[in-house]
A and B are shown apart, each in its own frame.
Chain A
């Protein structure tokens, strides 16, 4: 019985809400929750199982009472708590080749952090065997026969990957730490990618396929896309792709939750790992970093990140942007 009580205690500590100014009893409920937490600490060791259960139920009901707000007071609720994954405040682009061309990429170096910043090493095809570390937030992905980095004359680079090449996603519960690297500065792989567990993301389904996308970006900060007509994007076509949601214990995911030919917003590129989602009490998966603020902003439609890609209700929080690519796990 100790385990659920401990779990409830941790949840109560992490999810303790703020009192509503419009609810005259909110302060009392918070104090009752504090008392329930304190009482549960010794009641959970009580000899009688019924008392331990009663303590757990007391804590749960106290927490529920604090979490539920009357409809009349929701306008006063501050939903500006830190999201599970804060979106980038500035795009990251460092260490990339300066000259247009195609460069070999080390497949084992491919990483993408929770904010959607890719981290990989590349080498000059004609020069010395020296791998260069680079980080970039706006990178297109396309399926290819080799793992390469294509740098165009203008625009964002494309990582062309083989179907069996995986990008490592962090599966840690550490908060995204540190300032957002500024463009042009050398950064190490710290911050949100500092976890020691990872989930392998295979962006392309075996056998290829197409993804139905729209040109629109997500409603929210930083959206740069414009609404456009639905169009198929082949796996071999460079597009901005996001990993699907993963469930706890899942070692890998395949496919893309969304693909866009125009750069998605920074919040749309966030990806909450299952471990971090469990730690923060927020929904995991793509674009869930702004779930709290999206609800506060009275966006219509399902809560972002709440549905799994591939389900009929999945929107990823985007305005009109959908994906038909399926994801699978192993």
Chain B
């Protein structure tokens, strides 16, 4: 499994976001491969910002990008 320490993947962000319930997570994961690059960046910005605001995202607990992820940015 190749992993990158650059940024958390969108898939991981969706799964960890406290702003999303289980149904919303499934919906976002379903459309994620079909989003435009611009919208993937918007989604990332929203989720990262929300996580940071909720203090759920810290430097001490990085999230790794999984290899072969579609649209994970």
Interface residues of A (CB under 8 A from B): 24-25, 27-29, 31-32, 35, 38-39, 42-43, 46, 51, 54-55, 57-58, 61-62, 64-65
Contacts and interface: CB of A to CB of B under 8 A. Distances in A.
A222 B50 CA distance: 45
Contacts of A61: 21, 23-24, 27
Contacts of B50: 25, 27-28
Interface string B24-49: 10011011001110010011001101
Nearest to B45: A31
B67 interface: no
Nearest to A26: B19
A31 B27 contact: no
Contact of A35 (B21, B30, B46): B46
Interface residues on B, range: 20 to 34
A39 B19 contact: no
Contacts of B46: 28, 31-32, 35
Given A24-B54, A25-B50, A42-B36, A32 B20 contact: yes
Nearest to A35: B42
Nearest to A59: B27
Contacts of A51: 31, 34
Contacts of B43: 32, 35
A39 B35 contact: yes
A25 B18 contact: yes
22 contacts: A24-B54, A25-B50, A28-B19, A28-B49, A28-B50, A29-B19, A32-B28, A35-B43, A35-B46, A38-B39, A39-B35, A43-B34, A51-B31, A51-B34, A54-B34, A58-B28, A58-B30, A58-B31, A61-B23, A61-B27, A62-B24, A65-B20
**Chain A residues touching B, majority SS:** helix
Contacts of B21: 61, 65
**Chain B residues touching A, majority SS:** helix
A25 B50 CA distance: 7
Contact of B24 (A24, A43, A54, A65): A65
Contacts of A31: 46
Given A35-B43, A61-B24, 17 more contacts: A24-B53, A25-B18, A28-B17, A28-B46, A28-B50, A28-B53, A32-B19, A35-B46, A39-B35, A39-B36, A43-B31, A43-B34, A51-B31, A58-B28, A58-B31, A62-B27, A65-B24
A28 B47 contact: yes
A6 to B, nearest CB: 17
Nearest to A23: B19
Contacts of A65: 19-21, 24
Nearest to B33: A51
Nearest to B27: A58
A143 B42 CA distance: 64
Given A43-B31, A58-B30, A25 B54 contact: yes
A71 to B, nearest CB: 15
A54 B42 contact: no
A46 B34 CA distance: 9
Contacts of B54: 24-25
A25 B43 CA distance: 14
B34 to A, nearest CB: 5
A28 B19 CA distance: 7
Contacts of A25: 18-19, 50, 54
Nearest to B39: A39
